[in-house]
Structure 1
Amino acid sequence: MPHPDDRSFFGHPRGLGYIAFTEAWERFSYYGMQSLLILYMVHQLLHPGHIEHIAGFASFRHFLETLYGGPLATQPLASAIFGLYTGLVYLTPIGGGLLADRLLGRTRTITIGALLMAAGQFLIAFDVTFLIALTCLLIGVGCFKGNLASQVGALYATGDNRRADAFQIYYIFINAGVIISPLIAGTLGEIYGWHYGFGAAGIGMLIGLAIYLSGRKWLPPDSPAVESKEKAAKPRLTHREKMAIIALLLLLPVLTIAIIGNQQIFNAYLVWAERNVNLIFFGRKMPTTWLVTLDSIVSVSFLALTVVFWRLWAKKFSEPPEITKIGIGSLVAVTGFISLATGAAIATSSGTKVSIGWLITFHVLNSIGFANIFPVSLALYARVAPAALSATIIGIYYLAFFA
């Protein structure tokens, strides 16, 4: 049980350090795999000699082609698989949250999730187990993602203003993992072989699990519903808590609109950049997956700058509420996509490839928007969520990414 006055990790409870480092390694694992997945399918898995070996793929492909209304060639098929997977990844945390809040507790659910994700990473590079691997990853992320984030909020007492800063730190560590993953897992996969990249992602997940388990005594306790010995003792929601949940549900469509474009960075954006962007640096072609690292470096920088900006702002003016910050971030993010479209239009008219300068502009503007949307909205949900359903509410938050 963490002490409420613990400030041993940059002014925050020591448990935040264990959670943040765990999440960094989980994101290393997740984004290392995700940066390779679309390229792996387009260049190898979905071609003759491989595709026919995938267990259960004929039925799965029929389902996708029925869903999309016709036959799918290699690239559209890869995007359909990727889109379905990344969409379901943000649906499963609701089930994981309910499992943690009502049955197993967060710590055990997170441990199960980490083991499933590691298994999925090791299995995904083998043709026959591809769909099994995706299933392991989906269930694993569902058990892991929302529950770990809810533990960040649970480290702080009601009214503790450090909670918002904690989620900024949490997101900085997330992006640290994302920065490193394409450089290691992405490079290994693209240059030395897909197995090496996916294997590195699996090892990263096991490292994260080891860090998490080593810090168990510094983590917050499980929800009141799990800790209660008798079913009758489980706490009931008050009218105010029910109204808070309704308000959070109504906010989801707004967050979805703000988030949907950012999700393409790991899907169509990488395929488009590989074909249409001049990625030559000093006479050598930069691996396409390094664009994920570029995005993360810029994101970390502007996360830190955003924290500083709002602290300086608060010294002279009233700091805006979370909803206002989310609105500001959404508007800035839109300008990033406008700049990307402008660069593509100029390149098309001139018959050349898109300059990487346009991509850098996009990543800067998108990251400013990111810094005012993601950690702010997650902190909002963690603050408002009833204690008995904290992990479930965080799982519901990730529905915004489902689209």
Structure 2
Amino acid sequence: MHDNMTSADASADKAKPVIGDTFMGHPKGLAYIVFTEAWERFSFYGMQALLVLYMASYLLHPGTIENVAAFAGFRVLLEGIFGQLSIQAMATQIFGLYIGLIYFMPVIGGWLGDRFLGQQKAVLLGAAMMAAGHFLMAFEAAFLFALSALIVGAGLLKGNLAAQVGRLYAKDDQRRDTAYSVYVMSINVGAAVAPLVCGTLGELYGWHYGFGAAGIGMVVGIFIYLAGRHHLPHDSAKIEHGDQPKLQPGDGKTIVAILALFIIAALFWTAQTQVWNTYPLWIRGRIDREILDMLVPVTWFQALDSIAVLLLAPLVMWYWQRQRNRAQEPGDLRKIIIGCLVFTGACVWLAAGETLSGGSQLSLIWPVVFHFICAVGFLYVGPIMLALVSRAAPEAVNAMMVGAYYLSLFFGGMASGWLGRFYEPMSEAGFWLMHAGIVGAGALLVFLLHKPFTRHLRLSHQ
């Protein structure tokens, strides 16, 4: 649920569009990009669904951890920064670093694609590194090298693949919005299916089967991309320095306002990222997962997280359209406030379940309802925040600022990993109330800064 659209299509707007309406009224290249992205997200989320469980249940335990190459030095470095860590805290901290770096690297990967490699070469190189990383996960000794390959590979692939969607169209082509909607749907489809396949294989049959399935998914994505390469935008020549737009008076205040928005977004992503970090450990220990003598795999709940978004997105967009027809649709800032408050409610819901349980295991209704509340909160924050940044950022730095939005996910992922250490010493209710306070603080900050944000981001109806 927690990644969306593009990192840098502003500069690509100047590229010549690809002509040919052969896929749902769109250039044929869109189909190849969409299916490549779906398989890439299948591989990414399949591995992500297993990672914390794999580390906390198996890899980091004595007798196994000694087999991981270079881990002793890595542990010294990690505990030198974050203090002594239990096995569970170590797992959540490593996961936080992994997710944080996954969303930091597209800033560098997009720059390399634009300036040196070209977007197609960057995508293929990134995909190959991701496939290698997934297959390396089958070998305990290669664990740190596998994570490194996945981080660098995702950095090269993510922004460069998304930017090619925009380059299929002229700047004034109204089909662009629909194209990105289809693209984002492919992300959520991949994210929904992956935990069901990779997660089930990993939990029930062996961790390495799940990681292997993720690697196969990435290889399928590579073949799809290669098959459609001649339908994709050619890598454009570099923009001459003299053609670059300049910053205008007042743009500095706009940039500062956007950076402040990134800080608030990081508060939201801190809570959201826990769904993939500490939350699976909570599901494993606190939820009665038995249905008709079947134990529901923990990773299926990550699938439900994306399925809820797919189910509720049409309803939310219909509701916004109905409000728009009545001239009652809230502006972007108010939507962000609503989304943060809804996500606050989701965390409070988990805390309430723990309080009412009296220490016994909770029924499945608690996490199921939680994911549907989360989905509404995400739809009001994730895509809206990104769209707001892309619209408000000055033309001279638009692509860079949109790409830099992923730094919010970087800091959110890092923070969620650090907060994971408090899950063991705190009560479960207290842990989720802490996250409710974090994302609730985001809503409060947007409310308090509403007027300066509206002014400096040059927003109209908010």
Which residue number corresponds to residue 195 of structure 2? 182
Name the amino acid aligned to 2:107: I
Which residue number corresponds to residue 360 of structure 2? 352
State the Cα deviation string for residues 221-265 of structure 1 (Å, max 9, x = none).
546xx435xx65563444279556555333211211222211111
Which residue number corresponds to residue 338 of structure 2? 328
Q: Unpaired segments of 5 or more residues in structure 2? A: 1-15, 413-462
Cα pair distance change 1:382/1:106, threshold 3 Å: farther
Which residue number corresponds to residue 385 of structure 2? 377
Moved more, 297-306 or 237-246: 237-246
Which residue number corresponds to residue 303 of structure 2? 293
Displacement of 1:53 after TM fit? 1.4
Displacement of 1:38 after TM fit? 0.9
SS at match of 2:101: helix
The 5-angstrom pairing of residues 134-149 of structure 1 reads 134-149=147-162
Q: In 2, Cα distance between the equivalents of 1:92 and 1:390?
A: 18
Moved more, 26-35 or 303-312: 303-312
Q: In 1, Cα distance between the equivalents of 2:342 and 2:77?
A: 38
Which residue number corresponds to residue 227 of structure 1? 238
Q: Report if the CA contact (8 A) 1:46-1:74 is conserved.
A: yes
Displacement of 1:388 after TM fit? 8.0
Q: In 2, Cα distance between the equivalents of 1:65 and 1:328?
A: 38
Q: In 1, Cα distance between the equivalents of 2:30 and 2:337?
A: 28
Moved more, 267-276 or 391-400: 391-400
Cα pair distance change 1:54/1:144, threshold 3 Å: same
Which residue number corresponds to residue 434 of structure 2? none
SS at match of 2:280: helix
Q: Report if the CA contact (8 A) 1:95-1:392 is conserved.
A: no
Displacement of 1:82 after TM fit? 1.0
The 5-angstrom pairing of residues 11-26 of structure 1 reads 11-26=25-40
The structure 2 residue matched to 1:34, chosen from 43, 48, 69, is 48
SS at match of 1:267: coil
Name the amino acid aligned to 1:249: L
Identity %: 45
Q: In 1, Cα distance between the equivalents of 2:28 and 2:316?
A: 24
Q: Report if the CA contact (8 A) 1:326-1:372 is conserved.
A: yes
The 5-angstrom pairing of residues 266-345 of structure 1 reads 266-317=276-327, 319-345=329-355
State the Cα deviation string for residues 326-349 of structure 1 (Å, max 9, x = none).
3322222221111111112111x2
Q: In 1, Cα distance between the equivalents of 2:379 and 2:301?
A: 18
The structure 2 residue matched to 1:216, chosen from 229, 251, 255, is 229
Q: Report if the CA contact (8 A) 1:87-1:401 is conserved.
A: yes
Displacement of 1:375 after TM fit? 2.4
Q: Report if the CA contact (8 A) 1:96-1:392 is conserved.
A: no
Which residue number corresponds to residue 141 of structure 2? 128
Moved more, 167-176 or 214-223: 214-223
SS at match of 2:362: coil
The structure 1 residue matched to 2:116, chosen from 103, 115, 118, is 103
Displacement of 1:219 after TM fit? 3.2
Q: Report if the CA contact (8 A) 2:18-2:169 is conserved.
A: no
Q: Report if the CA contact (8 A) 2:247-2:394 is conserved.
A: no
Name the amino acid aligned to 1:139: V
Displacement of 1:18 after TM fit? 2.3
Q: In 2, Cα distance between the equivalents of 1:323 and 1:218?
A: 38
Cα pair distance change 1:275/1:44, threshold 3 Å: same
Q: Report if the CA contact (8 A) 1:252-1:397 is conserved.
A: yes
Q: How many residues align?
A: 395
Q: In 1, Cα distance between the equivalents of 2:387 and 2:251?
A: 19
Q: In 2, Cα distance between the equivalents of 1:381 and 1:138?
A: 25
State the Cα deviation string for residues 124-165 of structure 1 (Å, max 9, x = none).
121111101111011111111122233334444445454444
Moved more, 170-179 or 373-382: 373-382
Moved more, 390-399 or 276-285: 390-399
Displacement of 1:314 after TM fit? 2.7
The two structures have a TM-score, normalised by structure 2, of: 0.79
Which residue number corresponds to residue 399 of structure 1? 407
State the Cα deviation string for residues 290-325 of structure 1 (Å, max 9, x = none).
111111111111122222222333333264443333
State the Cα deviation string for residues 42-77 of structure 1 (Å, max 9, x = none).
12211223211111101100111112222x221111
Moved more, 386-395 or 369-378: 386-395
Q: In 2, Cα distance between the equivalents of 1:246 and 1:107?
A: 33
RMSD: 2.5
Cα pair distance change 1:388/1:131, threshold 3 Å: farther
Name the amino acid aligned to 2:227: S
Q: Unpaired segments of 5 or more residues in structure 1? A: none
Moved more, 207-216 or 118-127: 207-216
Cα pair distance change 1:127/1:240, threshold 3 Å: farther
Report whether the alignment pairs 1:51 with 2:78.
no
Q: In 2, Cα distance between the equivalents of 1:379 and 1:159?
A: 17
Q: Report if the CA contact (8 A) 2:48-2:276 is conserved.
A: yes
The two structures have a TM-score, normalised by structure 1, of: 0.89
Which residue number corresponds to residue 92 of structure 2? 79
Which residue number corresponds to residue 239 of structure 1? 248
